[in-house]
Amino acid sequence: MTSLATAATTTGVNYTALTVLVVLFCAVTIMGFWATRWRRPTSMASLDEWGLGGRSFGTWITWFLLGGDLYTAYTFVAVPAAMFSVGAVGGFFAVPYTIILYPIIFVFMGRLWSVSHRHGYVTTADFVKGRYGSRGLSLAIALTGFLATMPYIALQLVGIQAVLEVVGLGGGGSWLARDLPLFIAFALLAAYTYSSGLRAPAVIAFVKDTLIYLVILIAIIYLPSKFGGWSHIFSAAQAKMATPNALDHKPTGAFIPPATQTWAYATLGLGSALALFMYPHSVTASLSAKSRNTLRRNAAILPAYSFLLGLLALLGWVAIAAHTKPIGLDGKPNAQLVIPKLFEDSFPSWFAGVAFAAIAIGALVPAAIMSIAAANTFTRNIYKEWLKPDATPAQEAKVSKLASLVVKAFALVFVLSLDKQNAINFQLLGGIWILQTFPAIVFSLYTRWFHKWALLVGWFVGMVYGTYTAYGVANGRAGINHFGGSLSTMPVIGKLGYIAMSAFVINALIAVVLTLVLNALKVHNGADETLKGDYFADAGDPRVRPLDMPIHLEATNP
């Protein structure tokens, strides 16, 4: 508390903040390794234990875990950055997105949990295979999930990088000095994820979420009074967004969505909400819940994080009033630095350190869960399905642990060797791609009417359309000719809209039409291993396949 007077410097290393950051980081590393003893399983040698935490998490652990998983460090950096640079359409849509998300998942995640509980499914591709007996459709779902997750993991590194850059690490010098901190952070993460599996992010999520709540609530109470009150902040944001851009003479951004962009705002929200629980990491965290109702109760209490995200988004506008200059160590403006920079400029160094730790630790939880989810997908739907069908649960767990290392190493190489813009482009594409698995997964939770080949063709066309359309989006201000954004003119409607939604509608229409044709031709639609009652099963109902490995706490938990 003695360093209250320490003014944050804009150059050089901020040692106070760095020390706080390192101490908190070491603390969660210890917790990560300790997690293997937490709710100690009889054995870690199965995917149910290593990859799903024993399917044993109750309402509050699930709340912390899902909150820590879905609201990623990249979100915490990118949403305020978008508010700061382009305003409400690009940034604040995250609020309606994360509100309507919960009624949507309330409807179908209970079913997915139940059928997965009965049949021991670990991934959505497992479910699709069980539902249609179709290896092709299952492989398409698995590959899409894998491809969409990889850049998402890489972007968590971008979140850590933003913090390190503002602290003063990572600029210039040799590649070793620049990238070593990131390298160490990820090596530690890989090590405790390897040993503790999903238990590691579950434990760390408590720290992450507590820090994030603390930091944002303090910032949102303190900063407005420092920068002239909310009225002044909003008028500063309004003025900036109305200012014509020097390049194209159009307004800088949208203070509130104009009438021409209401479709864009709505489809961004809806498309993102439909897509989020198609990602493997969302499914992994959901299936680790111990009962069907754990998830549904969480749909009612997870919006607390959405409220927080909304406040964080507004900090992007606070930064406008505060005249924050997000200049990187390379001397170029980089909007992604706006939140770390705002904290460094406005708070004592030690508190800025806490805020940086919140973001950096915030990157670890989703990165761990994503790598576990991607590894589970690889193991179940590629290794066991195509390479070694007679793999035992212990072999599955072993392959998955190794795969989680490979996935993280790949993400690291991706971020360090390629331009950051590539990761952002792929993440944008990933959001479009992952939504194309929605019909095969969610429609199939309700009905077997759809034909597996129709779903596969719909998925394929959606993928191609989405990728091609995104490729054609240019962003003149950023000097980008391709993948310049997620909005494009929607077919038929003719307004700007989220590309993923256009592709999704095309995908679903094709699935319906082809299903009518294939059903009329009486083409065999595979074998269904699920029963109608499976979709309503709850904890305590017997599993269809007896598990080789006792599930954690199953015997003792009511």
Residues lying near another protein in the complex (CB under 8 A) are found at 88, 92, 95-96, 99-100, 102-104, 106-108, 110-111, 118, 133, 229-231, 234, 255-259, 262-263, 265-266, 269-270, 293, 296-297, 299-301, 303-304, 306-307, 310, 314, 446-449, 519, 524-529, 531-538, 540-546
Nearer to another protein, 5 or 259 (CB): 259
Nearer to another protein, 307 or 468 (CB): 307
Smallest separation (angstroms) from another protein to the CB of 544: 5
Provide the β-strand partners of residue 541: none
Smallest separation (angstroms) from another protein to the CB of 270: 6
Q: Is the dihedral of CA 102, 105, 110, 113 positive or negative?
A: negative
Residues 130 and 526: their CA atoms lie apart, in Å, by 10
Nearer to another protein, 31 or 104 (CB): 104
Q: How would you classify residue 168: left for phi > 0, otherwise alpha for psi between -120 and 50, otherwise beta?
A: left
Smallest separation (angstroms) from another protein to the CB of 290: 15
Element (H, E) at 497: strand 496-498
Element (H, E) at 269: helix 262-276
Nearer to another protein, 469 or 515 (CB): 515
Smallest separation (angstroms) from another protein to the CB of 114: 10
Element (H, E) at 498: strand 496-498
Nearer to another protein, 102 or 279 (CB): 102
Contacts 24+ apart (CB under 8 A), 168-173: 168/11, 168/12, 168/13, 168/14, 168/18, 168/329, 169/13, 169/18, 170/329, 171/328, 171/329, 171/330, 172/329, 172/330
Three-state DSSP class for residue 121 = coil
Residues 204 and 284: their CA atoms lie apart, in Å, by 16
Nearer to another protein, 133 or 485 (CB): 133
Smallest separation (angstroms) from another protein to the CB of 380: 18
Residues 428 and 444: their CA atoms lie apart, in Å, by 26
Smallest separation (angstroms) from another protein to the CB of 138: 15
Nearer to another protein, 307 or 386 (CB): 307
Taking a C-beta distance cutoff of 8 angstroms, is the pair 73, 339 a contact?
A: no
Smallest separation (angstroms) from another protein to the CB of 353: 29
Taking a C-beta distance cutoff of 8 angstroms, is the pair 115, 535 a contact?
A: yes
Per DSSP bridges, beta strands 487-489 and 496-498 are antiparallel
Nearer to another protein, 154 or 308 (CB): 308
Smallest separation (angstroms) from another protein to the CB of 307: 5
